[in-house]
Amino acid sequence: MDEITATELKERLARNNKIQLVDVREPSEFEICNLGGELIPMGELPKQASRIRRDIPVVVICHHGFRSAQAINYLNQRLGYDNLLNLKGGIHAWATQVDPDMAVY
């Protein structure tokens, strides 16, 4: 599985690279802190997968990187996605490595 670190993601976003962010956490978690992008909770993936682009890199985000890895496995194996990157360490890594003012939980 391909991964991207929080620092690498920050650099890509700063360069305005075309990239889609997909957050697979629950809405209550997304309210605490998020990077924007599409909120598609894990349980909604089968119904909402059409919202995930296939033509640009897609970074999948969760709290620590475990749910996003599961989501990527599902999307790769069941739906044939090949453009997905797991945010290594999840939103928690972003908060601790990139944005220390972001709320953590």
User: What pLDDT, on the 0 to 100 scale, is given for residue 16?
Assistant: 85
Q: How far apart are CA 50 and CA 93, in angstroms?
A: 28
What mean pLDDT is predicted for residues 55-74? Answer: 98
Residue-wise pLDDT for 3-43, tens only, equals 999 999 999 999 988 999 999 999 999 999 999 999 999 99
CATH topology of domain 3-97: Oxidized Rhodanese; domain 1 (3.40.250)
Clarify whether 33 is annotated catalytic. no
Nearest to 13 by CA among 103, 89, 87, 96: 87
Q: Is the dihedral of CA 37, 85, 52, 16 positive or negative?
A: positive
What's CA 1's distance to the chain center, in Å? Answer: 13
Q: Which of 52, 60, 62, 87 is catalytic?
A: 62
CA angle centred on 11, ends 3 and 82, rounded to 5° = 35
Domain ranges of the chain: 3-97
